[in-house]
Amino acid sequence: EDQVTQSPEALRLQEGESSSLNCSYTVSGLRGLFWYRQDPGKGPEFLFTLYSAGEEKEKERLKATLTKKESFLHITAPKPEDSATYLCAVTETGANNLFFGTGTRLTVIP
Amino acid sequence: ETGVTQTPRHLVMGMTNKKSLKCEQHLGHNAMYWYKQSAKKPLELMFVYNFKEQTENNSVPSRFSPECPNSSHLFLHLHTLQPEDSALYLCASSQVFIGSNTEAFFGQGTRLTVV
């Protein structure tokens, strides 16, 4: 059973067209939720950690939010350089792992 | 530069070869990890080392053998691999053990192709 599900699988946006990526999770005791950005052929780059429902974090055009069942990564006025795959991962109480989703591949068209 | 360096970046090997992947972290972290990333699949945890001690082995076949000589270096020794082992192998490190809710930082990965 998938513990982390990301949607959509792929997203194409025009430059400046804001949108949101979704990460839903089913772990029983969430310890932390992480967002990463991954460019083709490279390792994931850490973006944010969220620990509790209601928490928000921002970085440039990105804002991550967390509820008890899901997280959103909001992208405001994206630019072509924001094109990448965005990965969500969670840790849960008693587990020794980061459980990753399969990612959302974002393409921003000039 | 992420602070986690992997070599080589690309590797092509035959099924009878023996090779090793190397990872070095310059962040002063105490935990290191090997992940496998295949197309259309989530990252899969392979091995975890915490203070040089292996604490997790996620049912990885014995043809993959990890080694952690110190908290800054991690190796993955490969022998008699199968074509389905072709993937991007990622090394990561974190300040403390990932179960303690700390973010992990990844290297750039080794793209492995088994022919």
Percentage of the residues of chain A whose pLDDT score is greater than 70: 96
Nearest CB to B106; choose among A44, A94, A97:
A44
Q: Looking at residue B100, what is its pLDDT?
A: 57
Quickly state the pLDDT bin for B52 (edges 50, 70, 90): confident
Q: Token digits for B6?
A: 């992997």
Does A41 contact B109 at a Cβ distance shorter than 8 Å? yes
Residue of chain B nearest A10, judged by CA positions? B40
Q: Which of B2, B43, B105 to mutate to test the interface with A (most CBs of A within 10 A)?
A: B43
A68 touches chain B (CB under 8 A): no
Contact A50, A57 (CB under 8 A): yes
Does B108 contact A42 at a Cβ distance shorter than 8 Å? yes
Q: For A27, phi and psi rounded to 5 degrees?
A: -65, 150
Mean pLDDT of A51-59: 94
Quickly state the pLDDT bin for B51 (edges 50, 70, 90): confident
> Which residues have a Cβ under 8 Å from the Cβ of B61 and sit 6 or more positions away?
none
Percentage of the residues of chain A whose pLDDT score is greater than 90: 81
Contact A104, A8 (CB under 8 A): yes
Residue B25's DSSP bridge partners are: B4
Q: Looking at residue B11, what is its pLDDT?
A: 96
Q: pLDDT of A18-38, one tens digit each?
A: 999 999 999 878 889 999 999
Q: Looking at residue B2, what is its pLDDT?
A: 58
Does B97 contact A96 at a Cβ distance shorter than 8 Å? yes
Q: Token digits for A5?
A: 């599900």
Angle at A41 between CA A40 and CA A46, to 5 degrees: 75
Q: Which residues 5-64 of chain A have a CB within 8 Å of chain B?
A: 31-32, 34, 36, 41-46, 49, 51
CA distance B59 to chain A (A): 14
- Is A55 exposed, middle or buried (CB count within 10 Å of its CB: 0-12, 13-18, 19+)? middle
Q: Token digits for A32?
A: 């932390």
Average pLDDT in chain A? 93
